[in-house]
Amino acid sequence: MCNYETEHYIFNYTAGSKAEEDILLIASVQEACYAYICQVLGVTLNFKIEYFLCNSPEEVGTIYGDNEPCNAFTRPPNKIYAVYNENLKCIGFHEDAHIISYTINRPKSAAVREGLAMYFDRKWWGISNLDWTLYYLKNNKYISVIELLNNDTFFKEDCSLTYPIVGAFTEWLINSYGIEKYLFVYKENDAFFALEKEYGVTPNVLEQQFKKYVSLFKIDEVIEQRINELLLCNKK
């Protein structure tokens, strides 16, 4: 593979690929994401993040080594495997947020790990985490954050449901109480204990406060229709 190196990254890609064509843009986007994530989390890395920009999900599986097709995957401490082609460009905040935040801790709860990454993403399939949460609440498909903190539940459900909900909850926590309180939770492996200790109320009470906040908004009919279309397409 060819490679291109910047201040904080090493990008690997195939000659003649879309990634090679766009490598300067990719590098610029990731350096900007890197700077913002580090600023928010208050961390400094002593290593470079290494990207493997692949032509397809199948190539991600092959290069990663498990031969399982995947759009993007993180291998701590510093490697990211991601699809980048004409139709699918898996760059941005998400995987970088994992790598950078893992220098603080790698919480046992997937909901905590993915919640922080989705906090930086802000959106799932181009629609805000908040709108997804509104949609699931309105259509009685919402799953409690408390349940999602359990890995068995989190991995059982589709990521189009779990990721936006925990992302919206994480955004609410950080915006409401500040990043320092949230980082205390992130540094602990028992999310239930950490939430109650740091916020002074049970996780159930926190979730009720979160849902009360979400209820202040209404989902636009056009966005709701778009979500229906996306979910239907994803099932095919």
Among candidate residues 43, 71, 101, the one where a domain is terminated: 101
75 with 119, same domain: the answer is: no
pTM of the model as a whole: 0.95
Q: Are residues 115 and 94 in the same domain?
A: no
Q: Does the pLDDT value for residue 58 go beyond 90?
A: yes
- Out of 101, 129, 157, a domain closes at 101
**Is 80 in the same domain as 178?**
no
Is 95 found in the same domain as 184? no
Q: What is the pLDDT of residue 63?
A: 84
Do 128 and 96 share a domain, yes or no?
A: no
CA distance 6 to 24: 10
Of 101, 129, 154, the last residue of a domain is 101
- CATH number, domain at 17? 3.40.30.160
| Residue 142 lies in domain | 110-235
pLDDT in tens, 106-144: 999 999 999 999 999 999 999 999 999 999 999 999 999
Local structure of residue 142 (DSSP, 8 states): -
Q: Say if residue 56 is in the same domain as residue 122.
A: no
Q: Residue 81: beta bridge partners?
A: 52, 73
Give the chain's domain count. 2
Pairing assessment for the beta strands 72-75 and 49-54 based on DSSP bridges: unpaired
Per-residue pLDDT at 236 exceeds 80: no
The verdict on 72 and 189 lying in the same domain is no
- Is 84 in the same domain as 119? no
State both tokens at 118.
């989705």
As a dihedral over the C-alpha atoms of residue 27, residue 29, residue 31, residue 36, rounded to 10 degrees, the angle is: -170
Give the tens place of pLDDT for each residue, 175-194.
999 999 999 999 999 999 99
36 within 8 A of 42, measured Cβ to Cβ: no
